[in-house]
Structure 1
Amino acid sequence: MSLLDAAMNAIHLGFAGLWVGSVVFLTLAVLPLARNGAFDAAPLETVTSRLQWISRASALALFASGGHLAGTRYTADSLFGSAQGHLVLAMLALWFVLGLLVELGSKRLANGLAERKVRGPAREARPYFLAASVVGALLFLDAGLLSVPTAIPF
């Protein structure tokens, strides 16, 4: 493994952990408090804005680092014709779904927060962030399977 590959791997893992961790934190720690009225709109706007920034920056970093890693480890045939390649493609699809869910959930929050409401928007955004958290767990499961090639059952 080259130094560039190691750096891209570290960037990929770092941004993956940051993104999924941020989504899970919002889902499990922030939204329940917001649904109970423990926040005013302003702090929740800040948290939502930062999550969007993290999500978008992570999507770009993961696309670039993952693209490099896939380009150096797979050919088109192995990407589309092997179990490892299918896991990489599944990961790409899951990252897209995660980004979409975060954007949709954030928009639900932002729309209500603009009206200075907190409980309703938090309740409306919750399903999106719950789904995003599940997708994040699936991404880490996928990454785990990719890290141990002999563990792939298909």
Structure 2
Amino acid sequence: MDIVPASVWTLHVAFAALWTGSVLFVTATVIPAGAAGDVGAEALSAIVGRLRTFTRVSALVLFLTGGHMAGTTYTVERLTGTGRGHLVLSMLVLWLVLAGIVEAGSGKLLSGLDAGKLREPVRESRTLFRAAAAVSVLLLITGGVLASNVVA
């Protein structure tokens, strides 16, 4: 067994799971708590700031590890002409969309918090976080289908 492909694959899956899980956790628990006023602005800012940083790191790690795996596994023809290739390309697009949505949602929320507000910026960013959660679920489903080898 070659350690490099196994290490790259493991790093890729670990960051994917942690990132999507973080987005789902923040969306399902932190944002509603912020909207209800159960979490203070300072704590909310710290959590969302960490999510934003982790999003940036994860996007880079996933791009590098995914690029390595795609470059060693697929040709351009396989990426563009097979079901598995389409799943890989779909995941790339979904990762980019997720990064953009989290950036936008966290930016909107952090700007409002910096202005001294709490509930209003949470409400204004809630739709973006819900969209990020939906994209996270789509990524997990796509990754599961890809890992299952159901699609040729």
Name the TM-score class by shorter chain.
over 0.9
- Secondary structure at 1:110's aligned position in 2? helix
Instruction: Give how far 1:147 is off.
Output: 1.1
- Structure 1 distance, partners of 2:46, 2:33, is 15
Percent of pairs with identical residues: 44
* Pair 1:72-2:68 in alignment: no
Q: Normalising to structure 1: TM-score of the pair? A: 0.95
Aligned twin of 1:19: 19
- Structure 2 distance, partners of 1:7, 1:25, is 26
Structure 2 residue identity aligned to 1:8: V
Instruction: Give how far 1:118 is off.
Output: 1.1
Aligned twin of 1:48: 48
Is there any run of 5+ residues in structure 2 with no aligned partner, and where? none
- Secondary structure at 2:68's aligned position in 1? helix
Structure 2 residue identity aligned to 1:106: S
Instruction: Give how far 1:115 is off.
Output: 1.4
- Structure 2 distance, partners of 1:38, 1:148, is 41
* Pair 1:36-2:17 in alignment: no
Instruction: Give how far 1:2 is off.
Output: 2.2
Are the counterparts in 2 of residues 39 and 118 from structure 1 also a CA contact under 8 Å? no
Instruction: Give how far 1:38 is off.
Output: 1.1
Instruction: Tell me which stretches of 4 or more aligned residues in structure 1 moved more than 2 Å.
Output: none
The alignment of Structure 1 onto Structure 2 pairs a total of residues equal to: 152
Structure 1 residue identity aligned to 2:107: K
Q: Normalising to structure 2: TM-score of the pair? A: 0.97
Aligned twin of 2:99: 99
Structure 2 residue identity aligned to 1:26: V
Aligned twin of 1:115: 115
Is there any run of 5+ residues in structure 1 with no aligned partner, and where? none
Deviations 1:4-57 (A, max 9, x none): 010001100110011111111110000111001112211111011100110000
- Structure 1 distance, partners of 2:17, 2:53, is 15
